[in-house]
Structure 1
């Protein structure tokens, strides 16, 4: 199973919803770049990329069940949805458990317990800050409170630089 195969599955899952598809593709791209920049081992990089592709898989069910896409509901509904998809695609149990853990915690920032988790959060913030047209004050706060990796900080500074 390649990342490309999983991307195609997620595109099918979000068929007709270009906003959600573009969001996870951007998070995946940033996560891949940050992970490579930070020198993750192959297994951790694979877990990170898998989690980045599937991190918002709980949104559809959250909107259906709770009429909300809030992070809390994504964390509740996402792991089981991801497990179904990843099992069907033949992912091994150990990696799948970590991916599901990351999906179930990607909006929780006070107990980040690994580089895969840290990078997923940073990649999601890079995309969300841009999509939400965040103010400079918010960007600076997120930089100071959330970002820990050198590659993530570099990307945040360059993407949101006021230079033109």
Structure 2
């Protein structure tokens, strides 16, 4: 893994210190982004920007909770880019173009219409792969997300393997 990503992950863990749920979440989204990006044959630069965005995608949550008392997607997208920019600049090693794209992705990772590029599509899919489990989604919801959101062959294969194989049980999930 690129040393910049390692440094960013450490900085993001410091940013979310004490919030194990958030740290676990971004680590999982990062790795699913890596898997999908690799599976879809992304070039190294696009995959690096995608993985960077995956690490910081939810950076607006704490500020949204402080300012608005909620952490819904709209407020995350509103507050996240400036926080992401500050953390990327603190980490160093990112070009202005990389920072701009990461901030754009952070500001659109809950926007599911008008997907703006393969990196955006993959970030959305990776986040869903994690959220479906963390939110205990029922099988019907998983199938709707598959139909409405997922577009990459790798993302669809991962979703099917994790949630729609014969051995997965939705017992205990929210109906």
TM-score with structure 1 setting the length: 0.98
For 1:63 and 1:32, the matched residues in 2 are separated by 29
Structure 1's unaligned 5+ residue stretches are none
Alignment deviations for residues 88-136 of structure 1 (CA, whole Å, 9 cap, x no partner): 2222100100000000000011110111000000000000000011011
Corresponding residue number in structure 2 for 1:74: 76
For 2:133 and 2:26, the matched residues in 1 are separated by 13
Alignment deviations for residues 45-65 of structure 1 (CA, whole Å, 9 cap, x no partner): 001000000000000100000
Structure 2's unaligned 5+ residue stretches are 168-175
Q: Offset of 1:161 from its aligned partner?
A: 2.4
Corresponding residue number in structure 2 for 1:19: 21
For 1:32 and 1:66, the matched residues in 2 are separated by 32
**What is the CA RMSD across the aligned residues, in angstroms?**
0.8
Corresponding residue number in structure 2 for 1:98: 101
Matched position secondary structure for 1:2? helix
1:138 aligns with 2:141: yes
2:113 pairs with one of 106, 110, 115? 110
2:40 pairs with one of 25, 38, 42? 38
1:120 pairs with one of 116, 119, 123? 123
Between Structure 1 and Structure 2, how many residues are aligned?
A: 164
Matched position secondary structure for 1:108? coil
Corresponding residue number in structure 2 for 1:163: 166
Question: Which consecutive aligned stretches of 4+ in structure 1 deviate over 2 angstroms post-superposition?
Answer: none
Corresponding residue number in structure 1 for 2:64: 62
